[in-house]
Every structure is written in C-alpha cells, then in structure tokens.
Amino acid sequence: MHEAALAENILNIAFEAAQKNHAAKIFKIGLRLGEMAGVEVEALNFSFDVLKKNPPAEDAKLVIERVPITAACNSCGKIFRLERYNFFCPECDGVLILKSGRELLVDFVDCE
Ligand SMILES: [Zn+2]
C-alpha cells in the first residue's frame, strides 16, 4: 500500500526537524496513528526500517501511538469509543459524528 511513501514522509519531517535543531542524530519519532487511518503498522515499521539507513536517522525508532476511533452523538452529545462501524448512538439512536481515529501525524521528533 502507501506505507513506503508514508515512511518516507515521516523521515523527511524528522530530517527537517533535525536540521532545524542542528542535531546529528535522530533517536525517536513519535507518530499518532488513528485506528481508522488505514495504515498497516507492520508494513510501516518495515518500510521505515528499510528507509532509515542513512544518518542522522540510522538509529531512529518509530514510536507509534494508536488513536482509538471515537464518535460523539449528534443528539445527546455523549462520546463513544467505536469498536465496530456503528454510526448510531447506543443510548438514543442519534447519529454519531467521528471525533478521532483518522489521525496521521508526526507528534514529536527526539533528536540531538
Ligand atoms: Zn445519543
């Protein structure tokens, strides 16, 4: 899928951050990844490990924080964690609006 391109993007963001901070090494890259973002974590880790070979990223670790899928009810305002693709409120049958789960962003770059 698009995991290789994603890994490349993540590394580019980290390279920029390292450059800005005059860092010689990137230790960790934090990624917030929604469960609904459609990314295979294993494939992403694999691509990342293949692409990170060059300094300053050769020892960089990808730290992935999975963001659960949550939705808020349009009628009663309650927030639910979605286990399945259920788009109606279990309490009042109102329509659920997606609140989180599509995140795909670099949260932090730990470098020196
Ligand atoms: Zn409701």
Domain layout of the chain by residue ranges: 3-69+101-111
Q: Where are the alpha helices (DSSP H) in 21-108?
A: 41-51
Segment 6-18, tens digit of pLDDT:
999 999 999 999 9
Please tell me what DSSP assigns to residue 66: E
- CATH architecture, range 3-69+101-111: 2-Layer Sandwich (3.30)
Confidence at residue 50, expressed as pLDDT on a 0 to 100 scale? 95
Q: How many CB atoms lie within 10 A of CB 39?
A: 19
Which protein residues have a CB closer than 5 Å to ligand 1 (ion)?
A: 73, 75-76, 89, 91-92, 94
* Burial category of 93 from C-beta neighbours within 10 Å (exposed 0-12, middle 13-18, buried 19 and up): exposed
Query: Average of pLDDT values for 74-97?
Result: 90
Q: How many helices (H) and strands (E) does the chain have?
A: 2, 6
Instruction: Using the mean position of ligand 1's atoms as its centre, give its distance from the Cα of residue 79 in Å.
Output: 8
**Band of residue 83 on the pLDDT scale cut at 50, 70, 90:** confident
Cβ neighbours of residue 102 closer than 8 Å, sequence gap 6 or more: 34, 36, 37
CB contact at 8 A, 88 and 96: yes
pTM: 0.85
Segment 20-66, tens digit of pLDDT:
999 999 999 999 999 999 999 999 999 999 999 988 999 999 999 99
Instruction: Using the mean position of ligand 1's atoms as its centre, give its distance from the Cα of residue 72 in Å.
Output: 8
Token digits for 43?
């494939």
